[in-house]
């Protein structure tokens, strides 16, 4: 019996040693696949799983680029005359880079007459739906896309949401190479990512980097911000292109850069695919994104204000103004009130309040918890639909 046990233990030891050698030298021989996880696009279930490792032994991100690149297209938008010279400086800074003093900033591939805008887009379904940036196709009278295989087609603008800078296009072509969707919520700082697009109209280009930061807000680019920050080179013309993970799955739509020269300085921003997908579904279904609105202007609640007005709360959002005849005004909310909860969701900043209210369904009822001086109050109101940009006071 002792001899049998000795033989067994030696066999196990040798087997484990062989396993570790193989796992080190040929990891693809022992890698276990992950189960398929359905990703819903427009009501259809599309498998989204971790693709197999590069069995060919190629280094870098070769397979990730090969998987994602065919789904990234160049977008050409014929537009009305160039925008006014008094464009919002923050918008230009982040989308196109702030030019050096005395130099002219270039839009995403705009020619001097401003008649043609160039950007990128991503095919996200085989039936012809593409994601791009709203600012790439804003004001376009005609849109054309060019695939990496050389095919060209006219694109129809399904809808656009300037407040997230997401637009949806539709093309009528067969055999479209739809990209696999990743999970932006699983990204972590330090994860490898690739940016794919058509910078400076030189043709499709792949750059690599890492996730530099997550949930970037208060940049003054969009109304609703939750950006992925990356140091993968993003340049004018990349707008609307793909940010993919190291397996070639789409995790973001590239939208903006921070630059003083118009070129990449290693600070780029992408819209998480989770946000872009939600907007896409609303645009395809309804032609617009319906968000809640109660009609208030807000400020951060500072310790000085809380102390001066003898508030019993130190967390919440200060109401600085209320729009006349808006839902908040009709309910009795006043300037100086501090909103602490919206429909049971705690709010700690103006961005929290904006997101919580926007998530409410228009024409629904909502409870707003407010602190007024030393009194805790609650108001019931009927949520209105958020006006389109430019239509609000």
Residues 260 and 313 in one domain: no
Closest alpha carbon to 241 in 296, 201, 281: 201
Q: Among the options 107, 108, 110, 165, which is catalytic?
A: 165
User: Nearest 5 degrees, angle CA 200-CA 203-CA 205?
Assistant: 90
Q: How far apart are CA 77 and CA 85, in angstroms?
A: 20
Q: What's residue 351's pLDDT?
A: 86
Share of the chain above pLDDT 90, in %: 48
pTM of the predicted structure, to 2 decimals: 0.71
75 located within any domain: yes
Q: What's residue 223's pLDDT?
A: 82
Residues 211 and 324 in one domain: no
Q: How far apart are CA 348 and CA 392, in angstroms?
A: 24
Residues 227 and 133 in one domain: yes
Tally of structural domains, the chain: 2
| CATH number of the domain where residue 328 is located | 2.30.42.10
Contact 289, 283 (CB under 8 A): yes
What parts of the chain have a pLDDT lower than 70? 1-3, 5-6, 8, 12, 14, 16-59, 80-115, 259-264, 390-393
180 is in which domain, residue-wise?
63-286
Closest alpha carbon to 364 in 388, 342, 383, 377: 383
Residues 262 and 238 in one domain: yes
43 located within any domain: no
| CATH number of the domain where residue 124 is located | 2.40.10.120
158-207: pLDDT as tens digits: 999 999 999 999 999 999 999 999 999 899 999 999 999 988 888 889 99
Closest alpha carbon to 385 in 288, 310, 250, 307: 288
Residues 210 and 148 in one domain: yes
Q: What is the mean pLDDT of the chain?
A: 80
Residues 315 and 345 in one domain: yes
Strand partners, 118: 76
Q: What's residue 166's pLDDT?
A: 95
Residues 192 and 336 in one domain: no
Closest alpha carbon to 97 in 265, 258, 271: 258
Residues 246 and 352 in one domain: no
Q: How far apart are CA 165 and CA 221, in angstroms?
A: 9
Residues 95 and 235 in one domain: yes
45 located within any domain: no
Closest alpha carbon to 275 in 352, 392, 129, 161: 161
Contact 64, 245 (CB under 8 A): yes
Q: Among the options 239, 245, 259, 352, which is catalytic?
A: 239
Strands 338-342 and 317-322: antiparallel
Look up residue 108 and give its DSSP letter. Answer: S
The helix (H) or strand (E) run that includes residue 101 is: none
Residues 242 and 332 in one domain: no
- Which of 271, 286, 301 delimits the end of a domain? 286
186 located within any domain: yes
137 located within any domain: yes
Task: Examine the residue annotation and report whether 165 is marked as an active-site residue of this protein.
Answer: yes
Closest alpha carbon to 237 in 212, 216, 268, 193: 268
- Which of 286, 301, 317 delimits the end of a domain? 286
Q: What's residue 34's pLDDT?
A: 41
Q: What's residue 78's pLDDT?
A: 86
Task: Examine the residue annotation and report whether 135 is marked as an active-site residue of this protein.
Answer: yes
- Which of 286, 316, 350 delimits the end of a domain? 286
Residues 276 and 319 in one domain: no
Share of the chain above pLDDT 70, in %: 74
- CA dihedral in degrees (367, 369, 375, 380; nearest 10)? -20
27 located within any domain: no
* Tokens, residue 92: 């230009």
Q: Among the options 95, 107, 110, 135, which is catalytic?
A: 135
150 located within any domain: yes
233-252: pLDDT as tens digits: 888 888 999 999 999 999 99
276 located within any domain: yes
CA-to-CA dists, residue 43 to 185, 284, 305, 327, angstroms: 21, 11, 48, 33
Residues 260 and 308 in one domain: no
Task: Return contacts of 186-193, CB within 8 angstroms, 24+ apart.
Answer: 187/211, 187/214, 187/228, 187/245, 187/251, 188/214, 189/213, 189/214, 191/245, 191/246, 192/61, 192/245, 192/246, 193/228, 193/230, 193/232, 193/243, 193/244, 193/245, 193/246, 193/251, 193/252
Q: What's residue 197's pLDDT?
A: 92
Q: What's residue 244's pLDDT?
A: 96
């Amino acid at each position: 019996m002792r001899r049998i046990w000795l033989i067994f233990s030696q066999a196990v030891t040798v087997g484990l040693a062989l396993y570790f050698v193989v796992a080190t030298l040929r990891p693809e021989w022992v890698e276990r696949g992950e189960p398929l996880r359905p990703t819903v696009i427009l009501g259809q279930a599309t498998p989204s799983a971790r693709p197999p490792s590069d069995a060919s032994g190629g280094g870098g991100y070769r397979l990730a680029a090969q998987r994602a690149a065919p789904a990234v297209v160049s977008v050409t938008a014929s537009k009305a005359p160039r925008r006014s010279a008094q464009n919002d400086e923050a918008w230009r800074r982040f989308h196109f880079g702030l030019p050096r003093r005395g130099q002219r900033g270039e839009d995403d591939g705009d020619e001097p007459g401003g008649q043609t805008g160039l950007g990128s887009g991503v095919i996200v379904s085989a039936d012809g739906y593409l994601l791009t940036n709203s600012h790439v196709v804003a004001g376009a009278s005609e849109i054309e896309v060019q695939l990496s295989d050389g095919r060209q087609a006219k694109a129809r603008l399904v809808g656009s949401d300037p407040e997230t800078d997401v637009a949806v296009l539709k093309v009528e072509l067969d055999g479209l190479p739809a990209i696999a969707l990743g999970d932006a919520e699983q990204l972590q700082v330090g994860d490898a990512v690739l940016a794919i697009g058509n910078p400076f109209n030189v043709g499709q280009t792949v750059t690599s980097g890492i996730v530099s930061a997550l949930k970037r807000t208060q940049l003054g680019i969009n109304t609703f911000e939750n950006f992925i920050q990356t140091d993968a080179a993003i340049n004018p013309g990349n707008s609307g292109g793909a940010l993919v993970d190291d397996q070639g799955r789409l995790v973001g739509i590239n939208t903006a850069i921070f630059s003083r020269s118009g070129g990449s300085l290693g600070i780029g921003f992408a819209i998480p695919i989770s946000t872009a997908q939600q907007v896409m579904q609303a645009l395809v279904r309804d032609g617009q994104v319906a968000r809640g609105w109660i009609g208030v202007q807000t400020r951060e609640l500072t310790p000085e204000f809380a102390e001066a007005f003898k508030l019993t709360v130190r967390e919440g959002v200060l109401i600085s103004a209320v729009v006349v005849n808006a839902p908040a005004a009709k309910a009795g909310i006043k300037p100086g009130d501090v909103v602490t909860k919206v429909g049971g969701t705690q709010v700690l900043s103006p961005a929290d309040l904006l997101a919580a209210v926007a998530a409410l369904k228009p024409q629904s009822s909502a409870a707003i918890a407010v602190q007024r001086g030393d009194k805790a109050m609650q108001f019931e109101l009927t949520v209105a639909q958020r006006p389109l940009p430019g239509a609000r006071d």
